[in-house]
Amino acid sequence: MSAEVTNRLDRPVDSESDHVLGPPHAQIILVEYGGYACPHCRAANERIAEVRDQFGDRLRYVFRHRPLTDNDLALRAAELVERADSPEQFWKAHIALMTRSASLTEQDLTAVAAELGLPAPDSATGREAARRAEARVAADIRSAHASGVVLTLTFFINGRRYDGPWDEVSFTDAMLGSFGHRVRAAALAAIMLGLVIGKPVGMLFASMLAVRFGLAIKPGEYSWAQVAGAGALSGIGFTMSLFIASQAFPLEGDFAAAKIAVFTASLVSAVIGVAILWRAGANKVGEINAPRAVHAPK
């Protein structure tokens, strides 16, 4: 009976052992199991650079080795970059192997090895570096297997395997969906409730409290219903609301959604405010025009 295939990342990201770009507090963690001879990995390299620019400190990118099976060049390329003696050298070699040519060649390995300034393979230092590199690549391959990876390239987003396309829209939506769609939905609901309910109710109760404690006087010709209607109209917000939204939602997609919420809430507030004022005004006119009882003189 075969073991159940998992879609969860088996080994948690470790800043000390993994190859990581991005802060530890990032909300999105993107893990790639890839290899340098994989054409899909080479094509995805540009997409990864784009999303890193797009999300900034909200994204943490991790690269783990999963070289193409039965491909000696791919395995040697993975072990080569693992011989780099610093994270900076690793990422420099990583990018070089991904971008130096249309497909990985022996010349690419030779050039990158020269750029790294690696010790001679037959020296004690060289042999030790090679041993560590082999062990590291093997550990990543075991992690890939334990995580249910069957293909090079495979992505994990916040610990879950992502099996969808990685075009710009799909990839971005998938990363946002891991946490951002839920946050966005809550934020947009907050915008709507704040403008339609929170702001008008706050103004009405603040006015009532001010009158109650003698801090203000309500003109007798105006009813509390009219004050409530004016408060509802105050829910209409454009310039300041959009400015605040632009600061709170720096990503273009988030800001676009926030703008829709602001405009929708403003429209709803306008309708509610006009309806309340119209009703209050009609009642006021009715009171004015109502016939008064005439009492006969005594």
pLDDT in tens, 20-70: 999 988 889 999 999 999 999 999 999 999 999 999 998 999 999 999 999
Mean pLDDT over all residues of the chain? 81
User: Which residue(s) pair with 155 in the sheet?
Assistant: 32, 162
| pLDDT score for 2 | 44
Rg (CA), the chain: 32
What would the CATH number be for the domain defined by 19-166? 3.40.30.10
pLDDT reported for residue 148: 93
Whole-structure pTM value:
0.60
> How far, in Å, are 78, 123, 135, 142, 283 from residue 130 at the CA level?
11, 10, 9, 18, 88
Q: Which residue, among 204, 151, 194, has the nearest Cα to 41 in the 3D structure? A: 151
The ranges of the chain with pLDDT < 50 are: 1-3
